[in-house]
Amino acid sequence: MKITTKVAHFTSPLYLESGRILEPYDIKYETYGTLNKAKDNVILICHALSGSHHAAGYYEGERKPGWWDGLIGDGKAIDTTKYFVICTNTIGSCFGSTGPMSSNYPSNEPYRLKFPVVTIKDMVKAQMHLLSSLGIYGVHSIIGGSMGGMQALQFAVDYPNFAKNIIAMATTYATQPWAIAFNKVAVEAIRRDPRFNNGNYAKDEFKELGCDGLAIGRIAGHISYLSPDSMGDKFGRRYVSNDGLFELFGRYEVERYMEYNTGNFSKIFDPLSYLYIVKAINTFNLSRGYESLYDAVLRIKANIHLISFSGDLLFLPREMEHLAKMLDRNSQSYTYHEIDSNYGHDAFLVELDKFKSIVSEVLSR
């Protein structure tokens, strides 16, 4: 599989939903496969909160592949021998696209809290600018899960003639209070961390020791990505063998797992980017800018394919089902699958065998 990683630099202004302007800005992106002469074999992949442009394959010296490697590649469900696959790092993130720790032109100082709030609409608009710069004015399909699914649906509404197919997984039409409440734990934990210093920290501040506030907030997030069943299956009530049961801070295996994973995450993900992306997720509402959700959905011309997971406690299947019923009432082209899963929200990243045939079938039509 041919992998290419690039950074596109834009000097034209990006007009944001808030009324503010981002100028200049960069978008880091990765491509897989080969673009055909007609440029009609493009599939756009949209990542979730903690994802990046590195969706598949291995970098040199890397032990873990891209976050959706089981789905994207030669001969896989998203077959890179047939399709030219693009995945961008969203604006606001910390993996190469312009975000809060990028230089606030013309100075060399980071934006920090001067960075404008970005929304899912803004992320989608920035990707449209990138694709236009590549001479791509329509795509075969747009695919994403969680926040990536939000982007996919936003593309379908805002740019109804752009994609033939939209595959949105484990997502919603508008972020609900339950999800916002989980995100609030992370927001407050980061803000109250003394080393966060109201965003005035050095660029490499957390690379060695991590950000305690982000690690704590990520624990709450991680709980929302799993389910009672998947936690029970993975950890049971096993206790860390070298921790005393009657030590106050002795740990169960599930506690050690949370400490390890969220601690490492806080060393690689910028806390300001986390705050900005969480804000984009919280403010997501497919109907904003239109008279109602019905009017927004009525704009859609693509074939919509919705996939939910029965054990998802973050974005409940009924939220996707609500969209499906609306599409059905409008006689718009759609399919809806609720996958039987007890894994939780992260099933879209983990249980690929349960839905990859659906993806493959949609793409082959």
Domain count, the chain: 2
| pLDDT band at residue 130 using 50, 70 and 90 as cut-offs | very high
Classify 146 as helix, strand or coil. Answer: coil
- The pLDDT tens digits of the residues spanning 61-120 come to 888 999 999 999 999 999 999 999 999 999 999 999 999 999 999 999 999 999 999 999
Nearest one of 98, 96, 95 to 116, comparing CA atoms: 98
Residue 328 and residue 258 share a domain: no
- The pLDDT tens digits of the residues spanning 147-176 come to 999 999 999 999 999 999 999 999 999 999
Reading the block at residue 92, the tokens are: 């606001």
Task: Read off the CATH number of the domain in which 225 is found.
Answer: 1.10.1740.110
Q: How far apart are CA 39 and CA 137, in angstroms?
A: 9
Residue 256 and residue 202 share a domain: yes
Q: Print the domain residue range for 170.
A: 3-175+284-364
Nearest one of 235, 8, 218 to 131, comparing CA atoms: 8
Domain boundary pick from 280, 315, 332: 280
Residues catalogued as catalytic:
146, 312, 345
Q: What percent of the chain has pLDDT over 70?
A: 100
Residue 40 and residue 137 share a domain: yes
Task: Read off the CATH number of the domain in which 153 is found.
Answer: 3.40.50.1820
Q: Is the pTM of this model over 0.95?
A: yes
Residue 184 and residue 167 share a domain: no
